Amino acid sequence: MASGVASLDYDHNSSPRPLKRARKSNANGEKHPSEKEEHLFVNNAPLDHIFIADGVTAKKSGGKKAPLSCCECRRLKLKCDRNFPCASCKRSQLNGPDAAKPYRSPASSSQHAEGGEQAGASVERGSSEDTVMAPDAHHHHQKDLKDDPLSEAHFAAEIVRLSHNFPLSDSVSPEPNLRLREYIRSNLPPREEADYLWEQARQNALWQYNPHPSSTFYPNLAYHCYSSPSSSLSPRRLALLFMILAVGCLVDISGRAPDHPDAERYHRLARASLCEIPVMEETNVETITALFYEIWYLLVFSDKKKAAGYAWGLMGLTAKLAQSIGLHRNGGKSKVIPEELEKRRSLFWELLYLDARLSLSLGRPPSLSINHMDCPRPSYPPDEDCDISESLHHSPVLDAISQPNLNYDTVLELDTRIRDFSMPIPLRNKESRSRFVIIQRASLSTALEAVLLQLHRQFFTRAVSGPEEAFNRRHKYAPSVVAVFLSASRMIATVQELYNHQPHLTARILGYWSNAFSAAVSRLFPPSFQSSHLHPTPSSPISPHFIREAS
């Protein structure tokens, strides 16, 4: 340290002001970088760059010295250990105040250590261990993200890792990673291709769920993701766009094969974009909508073995996040524009319906309940011919299958109410050859049959397993056996009819085939049980019928 600095006099009668100003240079007497250089990178070597937001030697009004703590600790109101770098900055992987998260590549670090020319190139790419790219310089390096093979390899590996860890994130605080965000956006298809995939998703998939019925939803989303600068680009909205593109690829029956790699690639990019900032930080409507698409993707379109289990766990997290931002409450009295209020209501009711369908398919308790919410329905349903009261029929069934000891009379009463459910008039016309009518009729029919199967599953199993008494037509749970058999038969027939009319689209929606497989197992279980545990009894009128139908 310079001798003038080492001989500081702390006597109150002398003014220390000139001596403190001498510390504006480092130990070697070198000057600080120019304003142009500070704009491009931030060097973490000088001590006065790390500590004290207003400068090491600056004084506050009133004659008090500025606190000796780094900007990050002051921003987060943490206790700073006054070392370089402090413990808080080490945990958050920051080397300076207001700095973006550094991108460190071992290969580029080795090149930086080899010589000054390679180090200068490494600084320009923002990949040196000793430099951090400033947020304002990211738009100058957007093209380099795809051209630099080191950056390409690093970010590709980072995308795979973040997608694998989804929904967890490495960040302990919501700090943006603008270089990663820009790399993810660079993988967007051309705008014309994105518009085409949106149209495919709207025509072939959004008849199942429609969490955003507004006609301005997609134009606003696409404009934001394609036109916004990196610093103002929302990673949640970017993830939502990638999820829509993934669904569009899966249902693009005219341009892509069912196993086209673009769908999973967009899906992986969406998950990585959601993980840039922890999902439990800065949660908003776009976060819930992106998670909604992720659950839908896993439940309906994914062929992974544990996809339904992952969807179930993610549904619980999404429900809690939706409640944390008040989607389940009536926001009519708050100062929210009507369009935003309708968007929140539509999203919550679609989420409630998805949760009910997921719970019924797995036979597990729901994550959301209409008993714990007062969010009114949207003022307009997504479809004019759709009966919006369907979710009200799910609630008592979900409560019934969640109870360990359910009264059988309650099951029979709920069975009657489900069978009395009125189907919308356009869906009753079986002569209609409209593509949308056929698909929606099949979707509603399979949903009703799935409700009946789950309602009677417990008593059906007890009847055919025979721990109490052998099954016959006088068995106390015989109505459940008959109901399961008939519901399974109707579900298989519905899927077969849908496949006859729309074979290409039906083959891509794996949810139909999962339901059909469960129905087939339910149909075959009674005769297989009789052949191994019971002797065929002439007094049982259903046994020969089971055998004939199964053969």
pLDDT digits (tens, 9 = 90+) for 221-241: 999 999 999 889 999 999 999
Q: Select the more confidently predicted residue: 540 or 161.
A: 161
Phi then psi for residue 132, to 5 deg, are -130, 130
319 and 232 within one domain:
yes
Q: Say if residue 78 is exposed, middle or buried (CB neighbours under 10 Å; 0-12, 13-18, 19+).
A: middle
Global confidence as pTM: 0.65
pLDDT value, residue 81: 75
What is the C-alpha separation between 246 and 201, in angstroms, rounded?
Answer: 9
pLDDT value, residue 66: 52
pLDDT value, residue 338: 79
Query: Does a structural domain hold residue 48?
Result: no
Q: What is the mean pLDDT of residues 81-93?
A: 68
- Bridge partner residues of 42 (DSSP): 132
pLDDT band at 333 (very low <50, low <70, confident <90, very high): low
pLDDT value, residue 133: 37
What is the C-alpha separation between 226 and 238, in angstroms, rounded?
Answer: 9
The percent of residues in the chain predicted with pLDDT above 90, rounded, is 20
What is the C-alpha separation between 161 and 181, in angstroms, rounded?
Answer: 15
Instruction: Tell me: pLDDT of 330 over 90.
Output: no
Which residue stretches of 96-216 are H helix? 106-114, 116-125, 142-147, 149-165, 178-186, 191-204
CB 222 within 8 A of CB 195: yes
Q: Select the more confidently predicted residue: 280 or 138.
A: 280
What is the C-alpha separation between 522 and 449, in angstroms, rounded?
Answer: 12
Instruction: Tell me: pLDDT of 526 over 80.
Output: no
Provide the token pair at 134.
Answer: 């400033």
Q: Which are the contacts of 19, defined by CB distance < 8 A and separation ≥ 6?
A: 4, 5, 8, 9
What is the C-alpha separation between 40 and 44, in angstroms, rounded?
Answer: 13
351 and 280 within one domain:
yes
Query: Does a structural domain hold residue 221?
Result: yes
Q: Cα dihedral sign for 332, 336, 338, 341? A: negative
CB 277 within 8 A of CB 184: no
- Bridge partner residues of 133 (DSSP): 41
- Bridge partner residues of 59 (DSSP): 65
Q: Select the more confidently predicted residue: 8 or 427.
A: 427
444 and 365 within one domain:
no
Query: Does a structural domain hold residue 229?
Result: yes
211 and 323 within one domain:
yes
pLDDT digits (tens, 9 = 90+) for 351-373: 988 888 888 778 788 888 888 88
DSSP 9-44: ---TTS--HHHHHGGGS-TT-PPPPPHHHHHHEEES
Q: What is the mean pLDDT of residues 116-137?
A: 37
What string of H, E and C letters represents the secondary structure of 89-118?
Answer: HHHCCCCCCCCCCCCCCHHHHHHHHHCHHH
Query: Does a structural domain hold residue 35?
Result: no
Query: Does a structural domain hold residue 300?
Result: yes
Query: Does a structural domain hold residue 288?
Result: yes
330 and 255 within one domain:
yes
Query: Does a structural domain hold residue 73?
Result: no
Q: By mean pLDDT, which of 76-80, 328-332, 533-537 is the weakest?
A: 533-537
pLDDT digits (tens, 9 = 90+) for 18-67: 555 555 444 444 444 444 444 444 444 443 334 444 444 444 455 555 55
Taking residue 431's Cβ as centre, other Cβ atoms within 10 Å add up to 4
Closest by CA to 465, choosing from 518, 547, 532, is 532
What is the C-alpha separation between 95 and 42, in angstroms, rounded?
Answer: 9
What is the C-alpha separation between 154 and 144, in angstroms, rounded?
Answer: 13
Query: Does a structural domain hold residue 541?
Result: yes
Phi then psi for residue 442, to 5 deg, are -65, -40
341 and 476 within one domain:
no
What value does the mean pLDDT of the chain take?
Answer: 72
Phi then psi for residue 375, to 5 deg, are -70, 120
Closest by CA to 438, choosing from 358, 509, 495, is 495
What is the C-alpha separation between 121 and 127, in angstroms, rounded?
Answer: 9
Q: Please name the residue that has the structure tokens 């909604």.
A: 292
Instruction: Tell me: pLDDT of 219 over 90.
Output: yes
Closest by CA to 324, choosing from 300, 341, 294, 348, is 348
473 and 374 within one domain:
no
pLDDT digits (tens, 9 = 90+) for 475-521: 888 888 889 999 999 999 999 999 998 898 888 888 888 889 888 88
Q: Please name the residue that has the structure tokens 């698409």.
A: 293
Give the total number of structural domains in the chain: 2
443 and 325 within one domain:
no
Domain span including residue 480 = 432-550
- Which range of 21-25, 183-187, 332-336, 398-402 scores highest in mean pLDDT? It is 183-187
479 and 344 within one domain:
no
Instruction: Tell me: pLDDT of 108 over 80.
Output: no
499 and 357 within one domain:
no
Q: Select the more confidently predicted residue: 412 or 467.
A: 412
Residue type, 240: L
Q: Please name the residue that has the structure tokens 């995308």.
A: 159
446 and 530 within one domain:
yes
291 and 192 within one domain:
yes
